[in-house]
């Protein structure tokens, strides 16, 4: 039996590119934002303890909880500002990539063989053996592949068109 080579031809589109970038951004920031909300609640909790101890009986721990609350709030605002800066940079990156796509509207080629995986778009071409792939996630809409910890590929499954096997 001759091993099959599956080749997918994905059309380039600004909408697909934007969706992929936003998906990846949300995936990377999800844990950070969850931790940031925890910081906000911890800061509110600490400041409530400060208010209650000031009302009923000020003691040594009032200053401690005030400091913890301020640290939690400063961490929350620092992460929030970092998130907003990153989101602004993401918009700039998306706009640049979409304008580059309009200039170079070649389709993205995905090739799956028994010994390697190959990816080719207007910017670059990658070919890696399966043992170099270190991380792979498949969900209802995306195939996300990381090869050798540095190279990342995104494949939106609902937009694929299959070519005939070679």
- Dist CA 61 CA 64 (whole Å): 5
pTM of the model: 0.64
Q: Specify the number of domains making up the chain.
A: 2
**Based on the domain organization, do 19 and 92 belong to the same domain?**
yes
1 occurs within a structural domain: no
- What residue numbers bound the domain in which 82 lies? 14-103
Residues 6+ apart with CB under 8 A from 42: 68, 69, 72
> What are 47's two structure tokens?
């400041």
**Based on the domain organization, do 37 and 85 belong to the same domain?**
yes
Q: Using one digit for the tens of pLDDT, what is the confidence trace for 82-124?
A: 999 999 999 999 999 888 888 877 778 888 888 888 888 777 7
Which of 122, 119, 156 has the alpha carbon at shortest distance from 133?
Answer: 119
Instruction: Give the per-residue SS3 of 10-40.
Output: ECCCHHHHHHHHHHHHHHHHHHHHHHHHHHH
Below-70 pLDDT ranges, the chain: 1-2, 135-141, 148-166
**Based on the domain organization, do 126 and 90 belong to the same domain?**
no
């Amino acid at each position: 039996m001759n091993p099959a080579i599956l080749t997918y031809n994905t059309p380039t589109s600004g909408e697909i590119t934007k969706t992929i970038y936003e998906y990846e951004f949300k995936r990377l920031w999800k844990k950070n934002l969850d931790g940031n909300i925890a910081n906000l609640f911890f800061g509110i909790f600490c400041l409530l303890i400060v208010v209650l101890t000031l009302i009923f009986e000020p003691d040594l721990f009032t200053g401690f909880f005030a400091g913890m609350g301020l640290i939690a709030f400063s961490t929350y605002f620092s992460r929030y500002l970092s998130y907003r800066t990153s989101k602004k940079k993401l918009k700039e990156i998306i706009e640049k990539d979409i304008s580059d796509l309009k200039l170079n509207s070649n389709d993205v080629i995905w090739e799956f063989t028994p010994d390697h995986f190959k990816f080719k778009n207007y910017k670059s071409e990658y070919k890696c053996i399966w043992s170099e792939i270190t991380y792979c996630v498949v969900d209802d809409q995306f195939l996300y592949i990381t090869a050798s910890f540095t190279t990342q590929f995104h494949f939106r499954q609902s937009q694929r068109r299959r070519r005939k096997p070679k």
